[in-house]
Structure 1
Amino acid sequence: MNWRQIPLGPLQTNCYLYTNGNKECLIIDPGGEAQKLTSIIQQQHLKPLAILLTHAHFDHIGAVDEIRNEWKIPVYVHKNEKDWLTNPSLNGSEYFMAGKIKASEPDHLIKDEGMIEIGNFKLRVFETPGHSPGSVSYYDIQSGIVFSGDALFAGSIGRTDLPGGNHETLLKSIHEKLLTLPEETLVLSGHGPDTTIELEMEGNPFLNGF
């Protein structure tokens, strides 16, 4: 499997193209700039299979409908945020001078932790709330990669001052779900550079003393 990080939208949210050897791909968090993302997918001759959302804040969903409609692919989001795509007050766009960003309802609701299989992609879903109530992380045990959304960043953690956020819940999620992964696991976050579980265990100042 190969991955490409593409910062998109007003907050330069990391979108990821996760690609297999058949040039099929999963699109994780298409946050905006649909035309740019579409051009990259076409230039690489990729075949998108699905859109996976780590959560449904406005900066992660801005290109959802255009990408979904272009390739006729389903959108996955956690059940706790099933109404966020259609509601600018829930997804936060109403409060961030970003315009009222919304998308159509999701096609699939993630109801529990466990495995999801799309084509030959097999990802384990971890519920990692705290930044938002429906935040999830997607872990590929074979590739040693976790897409952590806005839960865990290189040297930082997600903000918890938005509706539905909770600092203690986020720290619990990180410690119980992410830091228990193998130390060499590559962490692909919603913003900023990639990191590893080992680096965050050793040096992330927000995780000390929990």
Structure 2
Amino acid sequence: MKWFQLSLGPLQTNCYIVYNQKKNCLIFDPGEEPEKLIKFIKEKDLKPQAIMITHAHFDHIGALDDIRDEFEIPAYIHEKEAKWLIDPALNGSQLFMLGKMVRMKPADHILTSEGKMSVGDFSFNVYETPGHSPGSVSFYFEDAGFVVSGDALFYGSIGRTDLPGGNHEQLLKSIHNKLLTLPEETIILPGHGPETAVGSEMDSNPYLHGF
């Protein structure tokens, strides 16, 4: 199993396309530029099976409906942010997008708990990792050795917690109790910036020391 990373939109939000040998794929956080994303998927001859949302801030969901409609696939989101898809005040677009309100259709499937999950050909673990936002989740592919962490943990940094529903202490607990318990060689695929690894962040991330 492998992945492609596309940085989309003015905030350069990372969208990940996780695919297998059959070219079936899952799309994580289609944040912006749907035409670019659709073109990429078709050029690579990939077959999308679902859209997975790590959290529902506007820069992670802006292309959701275009991608969902183009490939006729379902979208998954945590129950604590299900309403954020349709509410610009909750997803942040009302505050940050200068008049461009982001409103998406409701998700097709609601995540209500942690644990093992299968979607199409893909099996993975869902971890609740709130703090950046109350419904943030991370998707861990144990056999392939990587985790899609949204805006919880970055290379040398952590997610901001000054937005509605953010909680700094809760975010640190999520990182320490969930993400840092994964094997140190696990690749972290964050919502912004370059990929990193669990061991690297344990050793050098200044936000994680002294917690």
Q: TM-score range by the shorter chain?
A: over 0.9
Deviation at 1:116, TM superposition (A): 1.3
Taking structure 1 as the reference length, the TM-score comes to 0.99
**Shift of the alpha carbon at 1:170?**
0.1
Identify the residue that residue 6 of structure 2 maps to in structure 1: 6
Q: Where does residue 194 of structure 1 map in the other structure? A: 195
Distance 2:161 2:97 in 1: 19
State the SS of the aligned residue for 1:26.
Answer: strand
Would you say the 8 A contact 1:79–1:111 is kept in 2?
Answer: yes
**Identity value in percent:** 60
Give the 3-state SS of the residue equivalent to 1:83 in structure 2. Answer: helix
Contact 1:29 1:60 survives alignment (8 Å): yes
Instruction: Give the CA deviation at 1:97.
Output: 2.5
For residues 3-56 of structure 1, give each alpha carbon's deviation from its aligned partner in whole angstroms, at most 9, with x where no partner exists: 011000121100001001100000000000000000000000000000000000
Deviates more, 1:95-104 or 1:11-20: 95-104
In the other structure, the counterpart of 1:106 is: 107
2:61 maps to 61
Tell me, yes or no, if the aligned pair for 1:154 and 1:195 is still in contact at 8 Å: yes
1:118 to partner: Cα distance: 1.1
Question: Which residue identity is paired with 2:130?
Answer: P
Say whether the 8 Å CA contact 2:24–2:121 is kept in structure 1: no
CA distance in 2 between partners of 1:193 and 1:24 (Å): 24
1:155-177 residue CA offsets vs partner (Å, 9 max, x unmatched):
00000000000000000000000
Q: Is contact 1:61–1:102 with CA below 8 Å preserved after alignment?
A: no
Q: Which has the higher helix share?
A: 2
Normalising by structure 2, what TM-score?
0.99
Matched residue type, 1:76: Y
